């Protein structure tokens, strides 16, 4: 039975889907359709990264096992019983996606190969023949080992925009569309390699600007577009909130300090110019509103565990601009004009830039 894997990488939901061991021949019937849909496995981009990192820790035992399949593909008549036991033990305890995948592939190639070679060599057992068939199976097994080695040594894990050696990669991949019963889904197909998937996953991550970060609390790696300091786990987010409540300083405290200093400077300009009480009151009212606007943004960022980014800079810049414009206006205005504006302002007849900003 020829089996292959279906996969798709979804940048919208930041997740990947797999349908493992799809059967080539019966894809057209309704039973197979529902079986494929039902056997779909989903990983978030982050989970996929974790699976990849975990695979490195599982590799040694897989390496030992794969060496044995290569050795035994040309030995014995039937499938080796010691190897079968090893496979069963490994298969039972393995829960890593990649390790499971390669284990199954090794076993599939070995058992199918042994069966076919047995037919060809017939009663000639334990004979080291050098047939083309043997070579083909051995090279398939070696291919799996070479692929696992790639996952171990390459920068799949941390650098999705590699700057090392230049290469052009061409993979032969097909696709399968599952269409009907309210479903319309397209998957790519891959038979013996997960590399096409890994290239696409890596491409997708770099194309949406995601990078690998390390959580400052649990030290787990995670993917993000923003400049965050902690992962999205409940535990880490609540630890971060606790730290903030405890009064631990973070980047936001410094930014806010800088902002408040800037606004105090503007106010100083008005007091130095001996502007009327009305002007100072108008300024103070706007100052409070703008500060609340900045504080709300900071609160939002802290709650979601995000670090200051371009959008946050926009908040600070627009608050500063609004305060500066108001200052210039009040600076140029005569005392009587300021009084008039003050009355209108109290009546709620006019809005300043700061009001517009806050209302936005």
CA torsion through residues 201, 203, 206, 208, sign: negative
Question: Shortest approach of Zn ion to residue 58 CB, angstroms?
Answer: 22
Contact between 217 and Zn ion per CB under 5 A: yes
Q: Is 17 helix (H, G, I), strand (E, B) or coil?
A: strand
Quick one: 219 or 332, whose CB is closer to Zn ion?
219
Binding flags for Zn ion, 222-241, as an x/- string (CB under 5 A): ---------x-x--x-----
Q: Which stretch binds Zn ion (CB under 5 A): 13-21, 54-62, 66-74, 218-226?
A: 218-226
- Is the CB of residue 6 less than 8 Å from the CB of residue 176? yes
Question: Shortest approach of Zn ion to residue 234 CB, angstroms?
Answer: 9
Q: What secondary structure letter does DSSP report for 171? A: -
Quick one: 205 or 231, whose CB is closer to Zn ion?
231
How many Cα atoms occupy the beta-carbon half-sphere of 40 within 13 Å? 17
Quick one: 159 or 239, whose CB is closer to Zn ion?
239
Question: Shortest approach of Zn ion to residue 237 CB, angstroms?
Answer: 8
Q: What secondary structure letter does DSSP report for 306? A: P
Q: What is the DSSP string of 190-243?
A: ESS-SHHHHHHHHHHHHHTT-EEEE-TTT--EEEESS--SS-S-HHHHHHHHHH
Quick one: 79 or 218, whose CB is closer to Zn ion?
218
Q: Which stretch binds Zn ion (CB under 5 A): 90-98, 212-220, 268-276, 309-317?
A: 212-220
Q: Which stretch binds Zn ion (CB under 5 A): 150-158, 217-225, 241-249, 280-288?
A: 217-225
Q: In degrees to the nearest 10, what's the CA dihedral of 168, 174, 177, 178?
A: -110
Question: Shortest approach of Zn ion to residue 50 CB, angstroms?
Answer: 12
Question: Shortest approach of Zn ion to residue 35 CB, angstroms?
Answer: 37
Quick one: 102 or 217, whose CB is closer to Zn ion?
217
How many Cα atoms occupy the beta-carbon half-sphere of 253 within 13 Å? 7
Q: Which stretch binds Zn ion (CB under 5 A): 37-45, 181-189, 208-216, 277-285?
A: 208-216
- Return the residue of 90, 109, 144, 215 that touches Zn ion, per CB under 5 A: 215
Q: Is 63 helix (H, G, I), strand (E, B) or coil?
A: helix
By C-alpha distance, which of 260, 357, 263 is closest to 314? Answer: 357
How many Cα atoms occupy the beta-carbon half-sphere of 169 within 13 Å? 11
87-111 per-residue burial string, b: 16 or more CB within 10 A, e: under 16: beebeeebebbbbbbbbbbbbbbbb
Quick one: 191 or 233, whose CB is closer to Zn ion?
233
Question: Shortest approach of Zn ion to residue 98 CB, angstroms?
Answer: 22
Which residues in this chain contact Zn ion in the complex, by CB under 5 A?
215, 217-218, 231, 233, 236
């Amino acid at each position: 039975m020829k089996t292959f894997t279906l996969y798709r990488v979804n940048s919208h939901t930041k997740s990947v889907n797999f349908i493992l061991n799809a059967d080539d021949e019966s894809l057209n019937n309704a039973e197979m359709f529902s079986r494929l849909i039902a056997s779909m496995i989903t990983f978030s981009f982050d989970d996929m990264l974790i699976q990849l990192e975990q695979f490195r820790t599982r590799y040694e035992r897989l390496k030992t096992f794969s060496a044995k399949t290569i050795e035994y593909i040309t030995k014995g008549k039937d499938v080796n019983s010691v190897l079968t036991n090893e496979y069963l033990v490994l298969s039972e305890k393995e829960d890593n996606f990649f390790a499971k995948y390669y284990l199954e592939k090794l076993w599939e190639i070995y058992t199918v190969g042994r069966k076919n070679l047995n037919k060809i060599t017939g009663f000639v057992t334990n004979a080291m023949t050098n047939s083309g068939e043997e070579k083909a199976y051995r090279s398939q097994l070696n291919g799996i080992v070479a692929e696992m080695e790639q996952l171990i040594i390459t920068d799949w894990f941390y650098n999705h925009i590699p700057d090392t050696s230049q290469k052009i990669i061409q993979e032969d991949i097909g696709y399968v569309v599952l269409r009907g019963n309210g479903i319309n889904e397209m998957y790519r197909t891959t038979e013996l390699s997960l590399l096409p998937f890994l290239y696409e996953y890596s491409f997708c991550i770099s194309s949406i600007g995601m990078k690998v970060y390390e959580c400052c609390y649990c030290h787990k790696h995670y993917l993000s577009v923003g400049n965050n300091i902690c992962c999205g786990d409940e535990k880490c987010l609540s630890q971060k909130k606790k730290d903030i409540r405890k009064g631990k300083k973070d980047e936001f405290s410094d930014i806010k300090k800088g902002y408040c200093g800037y606004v105090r400077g503007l106010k100083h300009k008005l007091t130095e110019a001996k502007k009327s009480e009305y002007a100072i009151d108008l300024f103070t009212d706007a100052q409070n509103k703008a500060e609340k606007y900045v504080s709300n943004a900071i609160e939002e960022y802290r709650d979601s565990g995000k670090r200051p980014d371009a959008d946050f800079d926009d908040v600070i810049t627009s608050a500063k601009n609004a305060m500066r414009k108001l200052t210039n206006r009040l600076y140029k205005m005569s005392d009587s004009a300021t009084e008039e504006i003050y009355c209108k302002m109290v009546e709620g007849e006019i809005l300043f830039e700061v009001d517009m900003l806050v209302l936005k």
